[in-house]
Structures are given as structure tokens and as C-alpha cells.
Amino acid sequence: MANLKLDWVKVEKAREAAKRISDDTQLYLDQYTSTTVERAICRLYGIDGVDETGVPLPNVVVDHLAQHKVLGHGAAFWIGQAALATGMSPQEIAEAVARGELDLTHVEPHDSFAVQLWADTNAQAALKRIAENRAKREAKLAEYGDRKGPLLYVIVATGNIYEDITQAKAAAVQGADVIAVIRTTGQSLLDYVPYGATTEGFGGTMATQENFRLMRAALDEVGAELKRHIRLCNYCSGLCMPEIAVMGALEGLDVMLNDALYGILFRDINMQRTLIDQGFSRMVNSAAGIIINTGEDNYLTTADAFEEAHTVLASQLINEQFALKAGMPEEQMGLGHAFEMDPELENSFLYELAQAQMARQIFPKAPLKYMPPTKFKTGNIFFGHVQDALFNMITVTSHQRIHLLGMLTEAIHTPFLSDRALAIENARYIARAMKDFGDDIDFRDGGIMETRANEVLDKALELLLGIQRDGLFRTIEEGRFGGVKRPFDGGKGLSGVVHKEDHYMNPFVPYLLAAGKSTQEVSNE
């Protein structure tokens, strides 16, 4: 494989700065939990369903504890106390709270050691199910094999899960490797997870556990016919990030959108809440063997892709460090970037290739996710198809792993079945025609691409050193990512940030971290 000559001393300095940024930030975050982390814990203990007014039972339990101002002890502590006092299961406890028949703060108190023992013992059922789903995925990949080149990734977004299933199956037959069920507009701002199968949505479909189950079963069915494992992707972001991670892990999803900064910058979710939530959600995804996709491509839709390319690299390095803190191996870090430069820019193809190749070299084990052109798509579908072809060429040449296909009708409507077929045909043709192109070329010393990559690296290092000096929170307040400013005490969801009490209990953390660590050790052998 041809390589750009990068200044590796600067790469290591940038990585070390990102580590210190994440270390300093984590010291603050470790003092807090959040309402959605606690709801995720409820879900891991098997609490599901809704009350008579349609409120999800995990919300009922956590809201009950928050109203009594005792959530800082952890949902696991209070569920364990109630289970020991009443003999009820977590689901029965939640239903009794919903009916107003049980106050968790007034049950007979038990020794904290006994509660911890209950919490650890009863954590095993969910952990076992997550491990079984992971083993099932790995068995299918061993049986069917896996695509060696880029995984072809397409989206379905009808709003109706049953129509999504029809379209997803068609895309799999056409050659897609990853099906992403786009989440309905605005769901990231809901502070609860809707329940059951859904048939209405705008710009996408509700992310619910039942929808996950239905789509997983459908892709397993078509995958068995095709003798391929079709990966399923959804969105583990927003105000319910940890809960959706749990739902995905329990239902066997393969890929999750899961970024440390995306919700802050592009959904105005409070930075403290998002950074707390991403930590636990990544522990879950890591243990489940789910590849995360980060959202650096979004920076290039709000800022100029040529001028702000260094913010992408800086964010990738920060995302990498937060993922490592959650026990995630590099092989599950689908760090994001995008082909978003103005097509009127001379040599834009060279600059795009330099950026993609640089990312490939700096993150050699990561299944990088490369996003197609969207910002400069117009109603000219023929020119759009050419833009996608150039993007596909860079994807193959620089050995990207997750290849989100561009659609020739990107700027017009949600893709038709025929649009996906053309996108897959385009990508497969280029993958065949240019299969070994990236291994058969060299980058000219001092050439446009090498110079460009090192300029981006220099700026990323400068930015990271500035963040290390000023702190991540202040950096976000000043709008140094994507030109978007967010206040430390502003945004949605701040009220869901909860200070941990001295004997706070979350029994899942050590098990999840241990699962991720064991995966890292295997991958490093």
C-alpha cells in the first residue's frame, strides 16, 4: 500500500494531546451520572414496556427516584433494595412503581454488600444475551466470510418499519453490506425511547427495540438466502444514547452512530450530558462488538471542507481517546470523515485523497467510515453520479472500510430502490476496476497531496494543543469545531445530569470494560 510521508512525531504529539484532553475531561465526568444512563441500567435489568399513559417504565422508575432526589445512588441500588425487600423482579418493581403501589425509598433497607451482590448476580442475564448476540454475529461471519474491500452501506428512511424492511431486503439483494435505518427527524431530542413497532416518521423511522428486532430478523432471513451477513446500523445518539446502545446490543445490531461531540454541536444537547452518556454507551457497544461511527463528516457541512479539514482529524483523535477509555478496541472505531469539498475547487480530488489517505495511515486498525458528497449536490443527477464516482475511487484507493454510498438524487428526494441499485452498481464497478490501484501507486515526495496532508496535521496539532491548554468545554463554547458555539450550562438535557453519591452503584461498568479489554487483547495478538 502506497503511503504519504507524514511527520510521525507530530502525529504522536497530537495523539498525546488528545489523550490529555480526554483524561482531563473524564476527571470531571466521573463525578456524574445521567437520567438516561440510569434508564439504560433499568433496561439491562429487563425493565421494558410502558405504563397506562404510554410512559416507558424505565422513565417511570428513574423519574420516581429523581423526584425523591436519590438518583445519585444509582438505579441499581434502589432496584436491588426493592428486590431484596419484596422478592419481586425488576419488571414487577417497575410496574408497581407505575401503579403507585411502591415507593422505592421506603422499602426495608438492606446491607449495601447484599445489594451489591444482588446487582452483580442479576446483571449476568443481560451480559449473557449481549455476549450471545456477539458470538452469533462472529459465527455468521466465519461461516459466510466477509467482504475484504469497503462495506457498501446504504440507508432506508420511509418512516414505516415494515416498508423499511422491504427496501432493506431489496438493497441486500442488490449487493449492500450494511443497512442503516435512518432515525426519524427529531427523535434525538426526545428524552425517552418510543415503544413498539412504528409506521409513521418524517425523514426516517423511530428507533425502538421492537423495530430493531424486526429489522434484525428480516436481514437474518435475507442473509441466509444470500449466504452473507448483512449488518444493521442505527443511531445511538441524542438524549437517549445509552438506552439505544443497550437496545442495539440486546437485539444484535452491528453498527451504531455514536459520537462524543455530535449531539452537542448539531442538536444543541448539553455538553456535560452528552459526554457522560457517550462514555457508558460506548462501553455497551464495545462489549457487544458493535462498530461505532463518529460524526466528523458533519463539521464539513457547516464549515468549509478545505479550510476546516484539520478539525476533522482533531475530532477523530479525541473520539479515539474517549472510545479507548470505554474499553473499545480500535477495530470497532469507525471514525468518520467525508468527501465534501467544493467541486469548483481546483485539485479538490487530490485534497480529498490526501485527507482520506492520511486518516487511513493515522488510524490503521479503525474501520473508517467515509461519507459521500452531499453539500454540493444539486438537481443535476448526472453530475451527482460523477461526484459519487470520484468519491468511490478515493474510497477504494485509500482502503476505507465503511463506504456510505452517495445517491444521484441526493438533493431531490429519499432514494428510490432504483437509485440504490445505481449507487451499488457504480461502487461495485469501481471496486473491481480499481481493486489494487492504491497498492500500485506512490505519492510524490513534496507533491500536492503530501504537502496538503502535513498542513492538515500541523493545524490539527495546533488545535489540539490549544484544547489541551483551554479544556474541551471552553473549546466547544468558543466554536472551534464546525463553527458551532455551545454554552457549558446551556442546551437540552442539562437537568438530567446527576451528581453521584459516595456509594453510587453501577455494576455493569466493570463487566463491560472487561469484555472490551478481552477483545483488545485478542485483536492485538
CA 213 to chain centre: 18
The residues pairing with 338 across neighbouring beta strands, listed in sequence order, are: 371
Contacts of 466 (CB under 8 A, 6+ apart): 475, 480
Residues with catalytic annotation? 262, 297, 369
| Beta strand pairing call for 32-34 and 497-499 | antiparallel
Q: Is the distance from CB of 61 to CB of 100 less than 8 angstroms?
A: no
Distance (Å, rounded) from C-alpha 38 to C-alpha 503?
Answer: 15
Rounded to whole angstroms, what are the CA distances from 164 to 161, 222, 415? 5, 14, 12
CB 145 within 8 A of CB 192: no
Distance of alpha carbon 275 from alpha carbon 335, whole angstroms:
17
First to last CA, the chain: 22
Residue in the structure block whose three cell numbers are 478481552: 518
- Name every residue whose Cβ is closer than 8 Å to that of residue 215 and which is 6 or more positions away in sequence: 161, 164, 165, 168, 179, 181, 232
Q: DSSP letters of 28-84?
A: HHTTEEEHHHHHHHHHHTT--SB-TTS-BHHHHHHHHHHHTT-GGG-HHHHHHHHHH
**Which string of DSSP letters, residue by residue, matches 299-360?**
HHHHS-TTTTHHHHHHHHHHHHHHHHHTT--GGGEE-EEE--S-TTSTTHHHHHHHHHHHHH
